[in-house]
Structure 1
Amino acid sequence: MRVVEIKPKKCKAPGCGKLFKPAMTTQKVCSVACAKAIAKDPKLQKIAAKAITKQKRQDLQERREKLKTKGERLREAQQAFNAYIRERDRLAGYACISSGRPLDWNGNAVDAGHYRSTGAAPHLRFDESNCHAQSKHDNRYLSGNVADYRIGLIKRIGLEAVEALETDQSVRRYTIEDLQAIKALYRQKLKDLRRAAA
């Protein structure tokens, strides 16, 4: 965990204004006496209450983050990746990779379907060329509609790239740090896509 240096602040207590080095980023006053002065000022009490509530929320969030299992982190990274894939293909105007039919982007009818499934090829779960927007019907009820998926994939990325996916048997082990980085990367890529499209 990276330690962040907290910059000196100016005391918020009425009549003080002295520079001090806070122990926490949310600390607003330099001393107990200044904290008591704030406690007597109704306007400043609201500011202090907000800071305390914000700090409690941050502490709770940090504790929850530490308690997450590797499986929970994997699901979060997968959700971020899938959201990016769906948005990438929506903005590109792609149809369903397997059926070729237009996708219904209103609602919840589109999946990020993997050509080689995450069960059969977990090392390809975050490979962008292995995952494309697919109708829920094809992905869930036709077990990915693999034969037609392959045809659509060859049209989109080429035969050589498809064969490279099919022969990729490399082993990839994801650490908790890897999964956190993947989640952050795809959340940022999704933001960038949306910003560019706006």
Structure 2
Amino acid sequence: MRVALNEKKAPKPKKCKNPACGDSFVPQRLGQAVCGYKCGLAIKEVNQAKAGKALAKIGRREIQVRKEKLKSRGDHMREAQQAFNAYIRARDQAAGHLCISSGKPLDWSGNAVDAGHYRSVGSAPHLRFDERNCHAQSKQDNRFLSGNAVDYRIGLIARIGQEAVDALESDQSVRKYTTDDLKAIKAEYRAKTRELKKGQAA
């Protein structure tokens, strides 16, 4: 039996694209993807929500980019110092070190531990990111005893040796940090802190 040339084939049933439905239906028009109005509305709402999230994500990224552009060199210096100090605390906690100056156990449960510099950032800014010059120290010693410098030196000699301490004390070099330097320092110490914490968790 021959099929007439103008006879159309009946459309095949399709599965509704609405994940909450999934029923089979026979399309009434070309490109129909859902079984009815309610499923079409549901798909539209899902797509709008996805688009909204994508726009919000782009918006947040754009805000971050703009904030980054508005930062001063001082802002970058502060963030680099914070990243460095966080690493020093994580390093000494992982090593189980006592307070560098008092020799007493440190309280890691709260916010009682500083990253104390032997030669202060004010008097030796070129050593602010030198790991030999900075160690975990109780807030009491760092802030209320002006760093407890005499006992700090004794603890530092015990930890890194007389030769290294002499080198720190005689270092008068000048170091100027560009904004790019500070960004790199921040990234480096954040990565080192993550690695330390990952190692502790493993």
Q: Percent identity?
A: 66
Q: Match for 1:190 among 189, 193, 196?
A: 193
Query: Which residue of the partner structure matches residue 67 of structure 2?
Result: 64
Partner AA of 1:122 in structure 2: P
Deviating 4+ runs (over 4 angstroms): none
**Structure 1 residues 88-103: aligned runs within 5 Å:** 88-103=91-106
TM-score, structure 2 normalization: 0.78
Q: 2 CA distance for matches of 1:43 and 1:76?
A: 40
Correspondent of 2:121 among 99, 118, 122: 118
Q: 1:172 aligns with which of 175, 189, 199?
A: 175
Deviations 1:40-90 (A, max 9, x none): 822111110000000000001100000001111100000000000001001
**Range 41-50 or range 181-190, more displaced:** 41-50
Instruction: Tell me which moved more, 76-85 or 41-50.
Output: 41-50
Residue 34 of structure 1: aligned partner:
none
Give distance in 2, aligned partners of 1:161 and 1:88. Answer: 19
Aligned residue in 2 for 1:17: none
Counterpart Cα distance in 2 of 1:156 and 1:173: 28
Equivalence for 1:82:
85
The aligned counterpart of 1:44 is: 47
Secondary structure (helix, strand or coil) at the match of 1:133 reads strand
Aligned to 1:162, which of 161, 165, 175?
Answer: 165
Residues 132-189 of structure 1: CA distance to partner in whole angstroms, max 9, x if unpaired?
Answer: 0000000001100001000000000000000000000010000000000000000000
Residue aligned with 1:102, SS: coil
Letter in 1 for 2:76: R
Aligned match for 2:130, one of 110, 127, 132:
127
Partners of 1:146 and 1:78 lie apart in 2 by 21
Whole-angstrom distance in 2 between the partners of 1:72 and 1:122 = 16
Gaps of 5+ in 1: 1-13, 15-39
Q: Distance in 2 between matches of 1:145 and 1:160?
A: 21
Residue 49 of structure 2 aligns with an amino acid whose one-letter code is K
The offset of 1:114, in angstroms, is 0.2
**CA deviations over 1:76-111 (Å, ceiling 9, x no partner):** 000000000001001100000000011001100000
Residue in 2 aligned with 1:31?
A: none
Distance in 1 separating the partners of 2:183 and 2:160: 28
The two structures, once aligned, show a CA RMSD in angstroms of: 1.1
The count of residues paired between Structure 1 and Structure 2 equals 160
Q: Output the amino acid matched with 1:192.
A: E
